[in-house]
A and B are shown apart, each in its own frame.
Chain A
């Protein structure tokens, strides 16, 4: 069902909060993978506030939907969101990266409530998501598995091994989203190791590919609805995004893949966010 104006306004509010939280946690942590956390804000917000059937009061609920952040370095975004969803106190994130904190830059499912898998090493999330989806089908469970990939991590061979398996087993209970922000650590993906024709690659592996603006709730929502209806082949949502989205001096600058913020930069970044709040 299409999103109502009211729903979209609510999602935007959550997204503004999440961007602000990512900045704060990055400041507290002394550095984080901020660019790729900002690019997936709309995707995370839409999944966690609209689609995922989960309950923060019952995190291990058996029939919950599963979400795997294959691009585990964006943990700063997911941890902030899980706190706002009520899994734990947001104030705990002040210890992010610090000695014996439950929160390191790549999140541990044994320490962070609300996580379905520990991720961080690239190319590992999709294979696990394929296993989860197979397991759900075998046990006749209705829950869905969502997996969010980074584009750079699609250089990993294991992603394509998993893509073969997802198509081979016709895993239509798996919804895969790629954050196509076009940058990895060393620069533009097409300069580092070209992915294009990226959508075509996924199609040739047996996926139905839906390309969307990854910052548009309407686009993303339509794509997820279509993926849920699809019964013939797994769906890949190619979400075109902007790395560092929302903070103008970080946007499309690969140097903000990972970075720290001092108090001046934090204030400046928050000012930019506030000035675009009405968008």
Chain B
């Protein structure tokens, strides 16, 4: 880990996720002279502009042309540099999907992508600027690593880690402005290794992105109100998935719910479902996310409430699952 990158809650609360990665990139730029930055006329919105201000000769604005930008990033990587590309998730994973897949992933190039405005974090902008498909798309590209940080502090950790991580990496963040989950960056972030942020034995909530903090709050409420022991896992890396943590949750809690700011198809919930299905063990399981529709318009906090992705919604979903008596089902203990 690069030195001197300690973030406290005060810093994190006064900066958006994007602000933090902008600052982290600036510091990394000193350590690694091979880092170059790219954006598509969104340097200011994505905060990669901070890097651009500090290292103007190492930053390339591609204009409003994402396909060329990701092709250029591939070329820069072929020349030996480490391009960090930042634009909105929707334009990264759909407008330039083929460039990301064919130019970057197929050639297994050292391109780091920081996709902003993921999920419905820019809910007020409408469907054109929301992106609830990106995790599914990125997860299906061979060689790609997919990280969805819980907050700005974790985003900083992810950006630091991705530079040392060979090959393409997709880091998906929101628009920022989300409350901070971690008090500092010293909690052992490692790509591919989930973090159990609340221990528990009755049910496991597997979360990524903004839902991690909300689940922690829900776990507290459920302990106080229902005496439930709720395990909360921050599954910040969707690919490669920490399958061991999922299998452990199946064995120890027998109930799992996933929460994500993404379509319920193809994202974290699907990734966890694959592990559960292949485990061959019975496990009560529900996915919570955007239920295969285009999100309503609105400010994110209202939308997260509507789609049961805030603490209230998570509490409700947990009570729903805990209210079902799975042990009564005749096949529950089959084979085990």
Contact = CB atoms under 8 A, between A and B. Distances in A.
7 contacts: A66-B78, A110-B108, A124-B102, A141-B79, A157-B67, A158-B99, A162-B68
Q: How large is the interface on B (under 10, 10 to 19, 20 to 34, 35 or more residues)?
A: 20 to 34
Contacts of B106: 108, 118
A127 B81 CA distance: 16
Contacts of A123: 67
A162 B71 contact: yes
Contacts of A117: 74-75, 78, 107
Contacts of A124: 71, 98-99, 102-103
B65 interface: yes
B60 interface: yes
B174 to A, nearest CB: 28
B99 A131 contact: no
B72 interface: yes
A128 B72 contact: yes
B36 interface: yes
A7 interface: no
A158 B74 CA distance: 14
Chain B interface, >50% SS class: helix
Interface in B83-127: 83, 98-99, 102-103, 106-108
A164 B64 CA distance: 11
Contacts of B60: 134, 169
Nearest to B107: A118
Interface string B5-47: 0000000000000000000000000000000100000000000
Q: Quick one: which of B72, B80, B108 has the most chain A CB within 10 A?
A: B72
B65 A131 contact: no
A165 to B, nearest CB: 6
B73 interface: yes
Contact of B72 (A110, A120, A127): A127
Interface in A106-125: 108-110, 116-118, 120-121, 123-124
A134 B72 contact: yes
B281 interface: no
A130 B98 contact: no
Contacts of B166: none
A102 B77 CA distance: 23
Contact of A165 (B58, B72, B74, B78): B72
Contacts of B72: 127-128, 130-131, 134, 162, 165
A130 B74 CA distance: 10
A158 B99 CA distance: 10
A135 B79 contact: yes
B42 to A, nearest CB: 15
B103 A128 contact: yes
Nearest to B98: A121
B75 A161 contact: no
B74 A131 contact: yes
Contacts of B76: 131-132, 134-135
B65 A165 contact: yes
* 6 smallest beta-carbon distances between A and B, as pairs: A131-B75, A127-B71, A135-B79, A161-B68, A131-B72, A161-B65
A109 to B, nearest CB: 6
Given A121-B102, A127-B72, A128-B75, A139 B65 contact: no
Given A162-B68, A165-B63, A135 B107 contact: no
A133 interface: yes
Interface in A130-157: 130-136, 138-139, 141, 157
B75 A164 contact: no
B57 interface: yes
Nearest to B104: A128
B107 A109 contact: yes
Contacts of A131: 71-79, 83
A105 interface: no
B65 A128 contact: no
B75 A133 contact: yes
B160 interface: no
B282 interface: no
A147 to B, nearest CB: 10
B71 A158 contact: yes
A196 to B, nearest CB: 23
A128 B67 contact: no
B62 interface: yes
Contact of B79 (A108, A136, A158, A165): A136
Contacts of B99: 124, 127, 158
A117 B76 CA distance: 12
B36 A138 contact: yes
A40 B262 CA distance: 47
A129 interface: yes
Nearest to A169: B60
A110 B109 CA distance: 11
Nearest to A125: B71
A132 B72 CA distance: 7
A130 B36 CA distance: 14
Contacts of A135: 36, 75-76, 78-81
Given A131-B74, A135-B81, A158 B62 contact: no
A124 B107 CA distance: 13
Contacts of A121: 98, 102
Contacts of A120: 102
Q: Quick one: which of A128, A133, A141, A164 has the most chain B CB within 10 A?
A: A128
A88 to B, nearest CB: 19
A235 to B, nearest CB: 18
